[in-house]
Amino acid sequence: MNFEKLLIGLITEYLASILFLLLLGLLCYGIEVLI
Amino acid sequence: MKAFKRNDWLTIFHYTGFIITITAILFTLPILVALFNQEWSALLDFLIGFSTTLIIGSTLRFVGLQRETQKRLEWKHGLVISSLSWLILLILCAIPYYLSQQYGSYLDAMFDVMSGFTTTGLTLALDLDHMSISLNVWRHMLTFVGGQGMVVLALSFLFQQTQGAYKIYVGEGKDVELVPNVKGTARIIWVISLINLFIGTTFLTIIGILQVGLQPLNAVLHGFCIFASSWSTGGFAPSSMNMLFYHSFPYELATMLFFLLGALNFGLHFAVIKRNKRELYRNIEVQSTVITVFISAVLLLYALSKIGLYDNAVLNFRKGIYHLLSAHTTTGFGTIYVRQFISDFGELGILILIIVMLIGGSACSTAGGIKGLRIGIIFKSILHEIKKSLSSERRILLARYHHIRDNTLDDGILKSSFVIALLYILLFTATTFIGIRYGYPAIEAAFEAASVTGNVGLSIGVTVPTMPSGLKITYIFAMFLGRMEFMSVFALIGILISEVKYLCLKKYSPSH
């Protein structure tokens, strides 16, 4: 397994997960504002 | 007719012995930790466990040794080897637990081992806060290895490609081949997990020191334990207060990140590493999980707003979303006391958690449950049927889905998805009824049943050392069935029944 590829792949996965958590955080704020 | 002949059993003993012998190596880490921390009593417990496991594993290998063993591995062997290895290891790995006197009985010790192996995360320890460091490392290591799979671990140690090894691998509930051989696939799974273990432990150690205020060595221990639990979607923690012990938002965020990644398919990890980034949003499993998470999040936040205890977005995220993701990825970490589920979440909130616990994470990951892939396939087929009924009769519509590659949704895949989903629901219903029979309220029995069936580990307070032994055995069996995805356990039961039947017929046949 190529180390460079592995590193880029891991960073991509971590960034995608952080984005997903951010969206869920935004959802919490959205619902707080709405309700 | 006898289902298995003598040679079949010899093949099964040989490979079961191989898996047990490899697992015996795991004892070396807690032995080293016990030596380093001068925990002499624990050291003796681990040495007894190690030697017993090694002797039994080697004996089975020796008994099953025959020239033709490697050539004759069939599907029926693979399924039985997987479940038999798990059952024998369940008894053997419980030795240090029982000898530590941290568990009320050997059954309680086995409950904890099964909970670790299956990455459930429920515990029956009497005093978790005063457990030896080496035993805590052992618990978390078992859950980390269990997440990847005991069989996967053993297969990665194969010195040469064994014909039919794929059959044992599938028996453990994993069915993705990342590279053309199983040994290579098993090794890739371990490389991905170990690199993440290093990153995760380092990250949690830094937060532990800077934000939580732990001593450096203690922070490393907690970092290792919590990462092992997060990545394997286990849910064990070194403290009886679970994640509440840390009172730290960054620590909670980090665990969320790790258990989200842990609940992803190893095939997806491999595809992303191979620079196929589009897989992250094209994969049917990712799509179905994102949809179910967002729908359930909206419903849960609505339910929480009705109760009104969490009055701001940060609290809703730390309590509501945290438990939702913990349940959906089948991790089982909690940031509230177990009895707070009833008061803080209400019946609607608990119902949502039960549903997401049953849905679970991804196939061929460390997570349990019905799995996002099957949910995606089932919904895709329903949509396809609706489309078909609306289109003109002459048009032939082919249903397709993307999972690592483009696939056609055929009857075989659809049937197996429905069968497994149905079996999960049946297991959940039966476990709930047994809980109710033991006198627990329906909602509590259902919550705990969903938790053991989906290998989650969240508890509403039913799982305690004083619970009835019958319920402990039921939960052990439910965790085992849920993790192995039924087939290999059914194969073992079927073989045992046919062996007993054969012996009875032989005993009472007129010729005798």
Interchain proximity A18–B317, CB inside 8 Å: no
Q: What is the ipTM of this complex?
A: 0.95
Residue B379, C-beta contacts closer than 8 angstroms, at least 6 positions apart: B288
* Helix ranges (DSSP H) in B105-158: 106-117, 133-148, 150-155
Supply the DSSP string of B339-372, one letter for each residue.
Answer: THIIIIIHHHHHHHHHHHHHH-S-TTSS--SS-H
In this complex, the residue of B269, B275, B320 whose CB is nearest that of residue A5 is: B275
Cα distance between residue B52 and residue B46, in whole Å: 10
What pLDDT is stored for residue B376 in this prediction?
A: 93
Distance (Å) from the alpha carbon of A33 to chain B's nearest alpha carbon: 9
The model's pTM:
0.91
Give the model's confidence band at B77: pLDDT under 50 very low, under 70 low, under 90 confident, else very high. Answer: confident
What pLDDT is stored for residue B2 in this prediction?
A: 61
Task: Give residues 250 to 309 of B whose Cβ lies within 8 Å of A.
Answer: 253, 256-257, 260-261, 264, 269, 272-275, 277, 280, 290, 293-294, 297-298, 301-302, 305
Cβ–Cβ contact B312 with A under 8 A: yes
Q: What residues of B are in contact with residue A19 (Cβ under 8 Å)?
A: none
Distance (Å) from the alpha carbon of A22 to chain B's nearest alpha carbon: 10
Interchain proximity A16–B280, CB inside 8 Å: yes
- Per-residue model confidence as pLDDT tens digits over B273-291: 888 888 889 999 999 999 9
Paired with B405 in beta bridges are: B403
Paired with B406 in beta bridges are: B402
Return the residue in A7, A8, A20, A26 with the most chain B beta carbons within 10 A, the one to mutate for interface testing. Answer: A20
Cα distance between residue B195 and residue B157, in whole Å: 18
Checking if the pLDDT of B72 tops 60, the result is: yes
Residues B53-80: what's their mean pLDDT? 79
- Per-residue model confidence as pLDDT tens digits over B4-58: 778 888 888 988 998 999 999 999 999 999 999 999 999 999 999 999 999 999 9
- Per-residue model confidence as pLDDT tens digits over B455-508: 999 999 999 999 999 999 999 999 999 988 887 788 778 888 888 888 888 777
Interchain proximity B199–A10, CB inside 8 Å: yes
Q: In this structure, what are the phi and psi dihedrals at residue A22, rounded to the nearest 5 degrees?
A: -60, -45
Return the residue in B273, B287, B329 with the most chain A beta carbons within 10 A, the one to mutate for interface testing. Answer: B273
- Per-residue model confidence as pLDDT tens digits over B424-456: 999 999 999 999 999 999 999 999 999 999 999
